[in-house]
Amino acid sequence: MSLGLLAEASSHQGALQLGQVAPAELQAHLAGMMRVRAVERRLAEARRDGLVGGPVHLGVGQEAVAVGVSASLRAGDRVFGAHRSHSHLLALGSDVRKLFAEVLARSTGHSRGMGGSMHLWDQSVGFYGSVPIVAGTVSLAVGAGMAARLQGTGDVAVAYLGDGAVEEGVVHESLNLARVQKDPVIFVVENNLFASHMHISLRQPSDCTARYAIAHDMPFRVVDGNDVLAVARAADELVRAARQGAGPGFLEAVTYRWYGHVDWREDIDVGVHRSQHDVDDWRAKDPVRRLAEAMQAAGFWSVAQQAALQQVIDGQIESAWKAAAADPLPPPEWLLGHVYARSGG
């Protein structure tokens, strides 16, 4: 089982097929991806310039996955991320200022400024956490899906993970348990072909992780992860089935991170199969550009509208950054909070 052309940098670079998707929905997808990218680029610049003290794992180029999946989610669903989860949080509509505040170690951040880029949480939008431990939240998503099944709410849980995480035993235990119990869990694998700096060809016998869904008798979809419409269609099918009691689903979205494993560097001098030529070819599969060009070709979007939207988003991001940077740091007395139990009164 192989990804074939989906894993080839030089393929799938053209405009998207819009089908019958309404212009308003397309514009929402476009704005969502542009917002995520603008946020991450601001974080990349800040990390490069020394304004952010901790590591920042960026997913620029992968925006279509979270935006496409989130289009099928609703209030009550429970979403779990990993260590590269800015997009998963933002695609649900979470506040940009709070994310910036968290990364800048401000007390107004999602984790009061003490978690940084990898410890995010915003229950108000259904995001139940991200952690740096590889596959650390996958089993939690199964638990959340089990709870939703027992509660009879029709809600689903979503577990975002990478192609490296499928090499963890807990992922296979989670797939098995979710399938046996018919829990409404959607396992979303963002297959960007790299785990840290090692290409999937050096780690697995096949570049397609959906073979694990087959092993667990689970419905699956494998899509171009840089096509937000393909992601949205596949996610909608799996989510609808899960809500109706069909059990879990597996979505493999093939994509690519423009930056390296961590921070703003491209990492073209480490690992394997990653050269400047490769990065440039994958950049040509830009999910934002491909959607915008398809909308322009359809006649209801223009270059001027694209530029205007970009200006609005950039302004919002800059305002959120300045506001977060002006927020206070956590007070020193918070340092040992939630670490040691208090005795007595």
SS (H, E, C) the chain: CCCHHHHCCCCCCCCCCCCCCCHHHHHHHHHHHHHHHHHHHHHHHHHHCCCCCCCCCCCCCCHHHHHHHHCCCCECEEEECCCCCHHHHHCCCCCHHHHHHHHCCCCCCCCCCCCHHHCCCEHHHCECCCCCCCCCCHHHHHHHHHHHHHHCCCCCEEEEEECCHHHCHHHHHHHHHHHHHCCCEEEEEEECCEECCEEHHHCCCCCCCCHHHHHCCCCEEEEECCCHHHHHHHHHHHHHHHHCCCCCEEEEEECCCCCCCCCCCCCCCCCCCCCHHHHHHHHCCCHHHHHHHHHHHHCCCCHHHHHHHHHHHHHHHHHHHHHHHCCCCCCHHHCCCCCCCCCCC
Instruction: Flag whether pLDDT at 15 surpasses 80.
Output: no
In this predicted model, which residue has the larger pLDDT, 23 or 333? 23
In this predicted model, which residue has the larger pLDDT, 101 or 268? 101
pLDDT in tens, 174-228: 999 999 999 999 999 999 999 988 999 999 999 999 999 999 999 999 999 999 9
Per-residue pLDDT averaged across 327-345, rounded? 80
Domain borders along the chain are: 27-328
| pTM tops 0.85 | yes
Instruction: Flag whether pLDDT at 65 surpasses 90.
Output: yes
Give the pLDDT of residue 343: 72
Give the pLDDT of residue 97: 98
With bands split at pLDDT 50, 70 and 90, how would you rate the model's confidence at 253?
Answer: very high
Instruction: Flag whether pLDDT at 154 surpasses 90.
Output: yes
Give the pLDDT of residue 326: 98
Instruction: Flag whether pLDDT at 345 surpasses 60.
Output: no
Instruction: Flag whether pLDDT at 233 surpasses 60.
Output: yes
Per-residue pLDDT averaged across 17-31, rounded? 96
Return mean pLDDT, the chain.
95
Q: Which CATH number is 27-328's, of 3.40.50.970, 3.70.10.10, 3.30.420.10, 2.30.30.100?
A: 3.40.50.970
